[in-house]
Amino acid sequence: MDTKSTHLSIEPGSWVQLGANYDGEGVNFAIFSAHAERVELCLYDPSGKVEIARMDMPEYTHEIWHGYVPGLKPGALYGYRVHGPYDPENGHRFNPNKLLVDPYARELVGEVEWNDAHFAYDLLHPDKDLTFDERDSGPFTPKCRVIDPNEFDWQDKNRPSISWPSTVVYETHVKGFTQLNSAIPKELRGTFEGMGHKASVEYIKALGITSVELLPIHYFPDDQHLLDKGLKNFWGYNTLGFFSPAPRYYGPRGIQGFRDMVRSFHDAGIEVILDVVYNHTCEGNELGPTLSFKGIDNFSYYRTMPDQHRYYINDTGTGNTVNTSHPRVLQMILDSLRYWTESMHVDGFRFDLGTILGREPEGFDERGGFFDAVTQDPVLSKVKLIGEPWDIGPGGYQVGGFPPGWAEWNDKYRDTVREYWKGTNVSTDFAARLLGSGDLYDQRGRRPWASVNFIAAHDGFTLNDLVSYNEKHNDDNGEDNNDGHNDNRSYNYGAEGPTEDEGINAVRERQKRNFLATLFFSHGTPMLLAGDEFGRSQMGNNNGYCQDSDISWVHWDDLPEACEDLREFTRRIIQLRREQPLLRRENWRDGMEIKWFNAGGGFQEPHQWDEGSTLGLYIGRPDLKVEEGIWHDVLLLFNPFEGNVPFRIPQFGEGGWVLELTTSDVSKHGLVITKEKDFELEGRSLALFRRP
274 in Cβ contact with 387 (< 8 Å): no
Residue 218, beta-bridge partner list = 245
d(CA 226, CA 234): 10
Closest CA to 462 of 518, 528, 536, 526: 536
290 in Cβ contact with 258 (< 8 Å): no
Residue 558 is among the residues annotated as catalytic for this protein = no
Q: Crossing angle for the helix pair 411-422 and 427-434, nearest 10 degrees?
A: 130
Residue 125 carries which side chain, given as an amino acid letter? H
Closest CA to 143 of 278, 282, 239, 240: 240
SS3 content of the chain, % helix, strand, coil (to 5): 25, 20, 55
3-state secondary structure 526-561: EEEECCCCCCCCCCCCCCHHHCCCCCCCCCCCCCCH
Considering the candidates 352, 408, 465, 532, report the single residue annotated as catalytic.
352
Considering the candidates 107, 213, 388, 548, report the single residue annotated as catalytic.
388
Closest CA to 467 of 417, 402, 409: 417
Residues 6+ apart with CB under 8 A from 263: 154, 155, 156, 196, 345
Residue 388 is among the residues annotated as catalytic for this protein = yes
CA 491 to each of CA 463, 530, 535, 663: distance values in angstroms, whole numbers, following the listed order: 11, 21, 15, 18
d(CA 492, CA 507): 10
Closest CA to 443 of 589, 343, 321, 566: 589
> What sign does the CA torsion over 661, 665, 670, 676 have?
negative
d(CA 295, CA 4): 28
Q: Order of strands, edge to edge, in the sheet holding 64-70?
A: 19-22, 26-32, 64-70, 59-61
User: What does the DSSP 8-state code read for residue 212?
Assistant: E
Closest CA to 278 of 409, 387, 176: 387
**Residues recognised as catalytic:** 352, 388
